[in-house]
Structure 1
């Protein structure tokens, strides 16, 4: 299965939320970007808003 193409999206986020995401990402050995995408995918999956074939884990292919 071919991965979905990535799209850049600017995100405004509070400093406190970003710091918490950084700590969580560090704990999970992910970049902040990959952690945010992981959290969004999980929320979408739990709500039934993500197609099953796109629910595969995303490789951390960016360098933060």
Structure 2
């Protein structure tokens, strides 16, 4: 796996709190959850390469993926 590119991200404190709670609900770190959300947004927008690397971490799937709801 290629090394990840670090960068500074400034967030509104209220948004960070929302993301922190959401990440905890999904058993992810805040950083991991932000990366997940951005990757999903890129996929939905058709901007993520098909078969591209950096899919869900081992053992993780999108919530409700098996149900077809997510």
TM over 0.5: yes
> What range is the shorter-chain TM-score in?
0.7 to 0.9
Tell me the alpha carbon deviations over residues 2-26 of structure 1, each in whole angstroms, 9 at most, x when there is no partner.
x232010100100010000000000
Larger radius of gyration, structure 1 or 2?
2
Any stretches of 5+ residues in structure 1 without a counterpart? 60-64
Q: Which has the higher contact order (CA 8 A, sep 6+)?
A: 1
Any stretches of 5+ residues in structure 2 without a counterpart? 59-70
CA RMSD in angstroms, aligned pairs only: 1.4
More helix by share: 1
Matched residues, number:
57
Runs of 4 or more above 3 Å deviation: none
